[in-house]
Amino acid sequence: MFRIKRVSTLRSGKLLAYTYLLLTLIMISMLPILSSQPPGNILRVALISEPRFLDPYWGGWNTGFLAAQIFDSLLQYDVNGSITLGLAKHFEVLQDEKAYLFVLRDGVKFHDGKPLTVDDVKFSFEVLIPKYDTFGIEYFANTTVEIVNSTTVKIKPGRFLPAVQIPLMASIDCAILPKHLLEGKDYYQSDFINKPIGTGPFKFKEWVKGSHLILVKNPEYWDKGKPLLDQIVVRFITDSASIMAALQAGEIDYVFRGLPYEAYSTLVGNPKLEVYLSRNPPYKLVIQFNCNHSILSNKLVRQAIAYAIDKKEIVSKVTVGLANVTHSFISERYAPTSGAKIYEYNPAKAEELLDKAGYPRGSDGTRFKLELLLRNEPEEMNVGYMIRDYLSKVGIKVETKVVEFGTWLDLQVKGEYDFNVGKYWIVPFWHYQLFTTKYIGMGAFTNTMFYSNPEVDSLFEQWIVETNVENQKKLLVRIDEILSTDLPWIPIYDLVWLNVKGKYVKGPDIPIGRYVFFDKLYNTYIEGYYTPTETTPYITTTTPTTPTQPPFNQLLIIVIIVIVLMVIIGSVVLLRRGK
């Protein structure tokens, strides 16, 4: 009897062991599901390029995204892209005085606890912005700030240019920085640009170079109830394939730049993700000409090249059909684009114009040779190779030269190129620098096409001082008509940015792109950790509630309960059989 009892006990023990093994395997198999959820009200963002520093005035897309969370300006962009009040609670354009009046909000504090004062505004606009900001150097040169009282200032730029200055004052190009930390210091030698202190919705906590950066909620933010997130954790992942893998594994919650067009079909099929095809910020991929070139200075040649290129096929092959063909130099965001001249694919027309320009085919079928400058970026290289093939069909022999970004810029500045392919942010005040004669020879991101048209110059000078929005639009429409005839550029397509987030990421901030990528994520939250009190699609002011238990934690609790029950049942069976 003892022997039989021993066998029964052993078998029961094996049964319990197998039960433990099975439960362990179940738990292991569920780890990806559990780990794919964010560990709290924390947004995990991937950046494909790590910034050099956290300077709000630098202008880099990656730096700007991070700086927008840390700093504020007197005005700001709302979720619809409209300009509204920021650090200022009142704003006026003083047309007669050629100045701007601002009244500061009460009780705003920097992240170190010091109050924001009119002295910080004066210091930022007189000392920092005109010297260090990409656009401030031009548009806020010789600015003076009159302190009217303890909360009010008048900002008087050297040139009064509302069409440019108001949008800039709503961006971090005009971020207000603390005088008490920066006065008397060499800005770029200070530790401030690596460990910044602003008034924004998130505070800088940690930066491990080559790995990650952490921003934490500012509990004393002036816009009460915001931000909704507790943290933003930014991971630096420098290749698209790794970003794709992290998204699908649930290790990243949001990415807005760095994904190839080919990734769309895979990502949109993932039930855990939401994919947005965003056309903000407005960028165009263009062909840019050196208008000082002995051949390309001829407008007929540039127009012939436009007719020789099949934009629709480029869009189909390079962007898998996601982008839109464009003919305009501007964006519908700023003015109607219907007046732009259209160049449909027409090789016969291209040949006719080339003959008319005085460049017939030679005995070998070649009219002339050009060098196409490309930077080592796959999308631009693919477009460039297609352009080379199109032009060969109309007798233009093209050799391509691929270089890195810095060299690409340097060669343009020096005028040592024939034509190139590039991507450009489409905003009127940058066009002012790109297409007016006064900016020829002024360096990178200015008029490196060496293009000059007195009528365009005059129209831009009218636009830049115009305060009436409808009049601004009329001027831009006329500029577009002229540029699309002269063709210092050939616009190919409007870029589409793949914004991808986990479905549990909520709020109206995403997709970003209202001003480059410099948008705050203060209306964003993780479902289950925050319950919005507003029913409208745009959260403005909300009060955080007690976090509810997220679905993945409920799942974990259920799994634990099941394990405990099964262990109890197994133990009971073992005891009974052991008697």
Q: What's the pLDDT at 300?
A: 98
**pLDDT greater at residue 578 or residue 405:** 405
Mean pLDDT (whole number) for 427-443: 93
Question: Percent of the chain at pLDDT above 70?
Answer: 85
In this predicted structure, the answer to whether residue 155 has a pLDDT above a threshold of 70 is: yes
In this predicted structure, the answer to whether residue 49 has a pLDDT above a threshold of 60 is: yes
- Cα 476 to Cα 231, 324, 338: the distances in Å are 42, 21, 12
**What's the residue count for the chain?**
579
Strand order in the sheet with 254-255: 202-208, 212-217, 231-236, 42-47, 254-255, 497-502, 273-278
Side-chain half-sphere of 529: how many Cα atoms within 13 Å?
20
Mean pLDDT (whole number) for 306-315: 98
Side-chain half-sphere of 390: how many Cα atoms within 13 Å?
23
Q: What's the pLDDT at 123?
A: 98
The mean predicted confidence, pLDDT, of the chain is 89
How far apart CA 417 and CA 401 sit, in angstroms, is: 10
Q: Could you give the residue ranges of the DSSP H alpha helices within 76-169?
A: 118-123, 129-132, 136-139, 162-169
Q: What's the pLDDT at 34?
A: 43
Residue tagged 């603390």 (tokens): 178
**pLDDT greater at residue 27 or residue 466:** 466
In this predicted structure, the answer to whether residue 289 has a pLDDT above a threshold of 60 is: yes
Mean pLDDT (whole number) for 7-32: 51
Contact of 184 with 159, CB cutoff 8 Å? no
- What is the token pair recorded at 554? 């409920």
> Is the dihedral angle over the CA atoms 416, 419, 420, 425 positive or is it negative?
positive
Least confident of 287-291, 326-330, 570-574: 570-574
**How many CB atoms are closer than 10 A to CB 370?**
22
- At 360, is the secondary structure helix, strand, or coil? coil
Mean pLDDT (whole number) for 187-195: 95
Contact of 61 with 517, CB cutoff 8 Å? yes
In this predicted structure, the answer to whether residue 492 has a pLDDT above a threshold of 80 is: yes
Q: Which residues pair with 75 in a beta bridge?
A: 85
Q: How far apart are the first and last CA of the chain?
A: 12
Q: Is 365 left (phi over 0), alpha (psi -120 to 50) or beta?
A: left
pTM exceeding 0.85: no
In this predicted structure, the answer to whether residue 488 has a pLDDT above a threshold of 80 is: yes
Q: What's the pLDDT at 539?
A: 33
- Cα 257 to Cα 48, 269, 297, 572: the distances in Å are 7, 19, 36, 57
342-384 pLDDT tens trace: 999 999 999 999 999 999 999 999 999 999 999 988 899 999 9
Q: What is the DSSP letter of 512?
A: P
Q: Where are the beta strands (DSSP E) in 133-270?
A: 144-149, 152-156, 202-208, 212-217, 231-236, 254-255
How far apart CA 524 and CA 540 sit, in angstroms, is: 11
Side-chain half-sphere of 46: how many Cα atoms within 13 Å?
28
Q: Which residues contact 344 (CB under 8 A, 6 or more apart)?
A: 307
In this predicted structure, the answer to whether residue 403 has a pLDDT above a threshold of 70 is: yes
Report which residue type is found at 411.
L
Mean pLDDT (whole number) for 189-203: 97
Mean pLDDT (whole number) for 39-51: 93
SS3 letters for 526-576? Answer: EECCECCCCCCCCCCCCCCCCCCCCHHHHHHHHHHHHHHHHHHHHHHHHHH
Q: Could you give the residue ranges of the DSSP H alpha helices within 357-468?
A: 378-392, 405-414, 428-435, 454-465
In this predicted structure, the answer to whether residue 558 has a pLDDT above a threshold of 80 is: no
Give the largest Cα separation in the chain, rounded. 112
How far apart CA 333 and CA 516 sit, in angstroms, is: 13
Q: Which residues contact 472 (CB under 8 A, 6 or more apart)?
A: 163, 334, 335, 428, 463, 466
Q: Binning pLDDT at 50, 70 and 90, where does residue 443 land? A: confident
237-284 pLDDT tens trace: 989 999 999 999 999 999 999 999 999 999 999 999 999 999 999 999
Q: Binning pLDDT at 50, 70 and 90, where does residue 572 land? A: low
Nearest to residue 478, comparing CAs of 504, 511, 441, 453? Answer: 453
The radius of gyration computed from the CA coordinates of the chain, to the nearest angstrom, equals 29
**pLDDT greater at residue 244 or residue 134:** 244
Phi/psi at 314 (nearest 5 deg)?
Answer: -60, -45
How far apart CA 173 and CA 250 sit, in angstroms, is: 34
Q: What's the pLDDT at 163?
A: 86
- What is the token pair recorded at 359? 């460049």
In this predicted structure, the answer to whether residue 574 has a pLDDT above a threshold of 90 is: no
Mean pLDDT (whole number) for 295-316: 98
Strand order in the sheet with 396-403: 324-325, 489-494, 283-289, 419-425, 368-375, 396-403
Name the CA dihedral angle for 119, 125, 131, 137, rounded to a multiple of 10 degrees: 180
- What is the token pair recorded at 560? 């634990």
Q: Binning pLDDT at 50, 70 and 90, where does residue 554 land? A: very low
In this predicted structure, the answer to whether residue 168 has a pLDDT above a threshold of 70 is: yes
In this structure, are strands 283-289 and 489-494 parallel, antiparallel, or unpaired?
antiparallel
How far apart CA 342 and CA 480 sit, in angstroms, is: 12
Q: Binning pLDDT at 50, 70 and 90, where does residue 549 land? A: very low
Q: What's the pLDDT at 373?
A: 98
Mean pLDDT (whole number) for 12-18: 54
Note the Cα 18 to chain centre separation in Å.
53
Burial 452-487 (b: 16+ CB within 10 A, else e): bbeebeebbebbbebeeeeebbbbbbbbbbbbbebb
Q: Binning pLDDT at 50, 70 and 90, where does residue 20 land? A: low
Residue tagged 């792109």 (tokens): 513
452-478 pLDDT tens trace: 999 999 999 999 988 888 999 999 999
Contact of 308 with 394, CB cutoff 8 Å? yes
In this predicted structure, the answer to whether residue 555 has a pLDDT above a threshold of 90 is: no
How far apart CA 449 and CA 513 sit, in angstroms, is: 27
79-121 pLDDT tens trace: 888 999 999 999 999 999 999 999 999 999 999 999 999 999 9
In this predicted structure, the answer to whether residue 511 has a pLDDT above a threshold of 80 is: yes
Q: What's the pLDDT at 440?
A: 96
Residue tagged 């130099």 (tokens): 329
In this predicted structure, the answer to whether residue 540 has a pLDDT above a threshold of 50 is: no
In this structure, are strands 368-375 and 396-403 parallel, antiparallel, or unpaired?
parallel
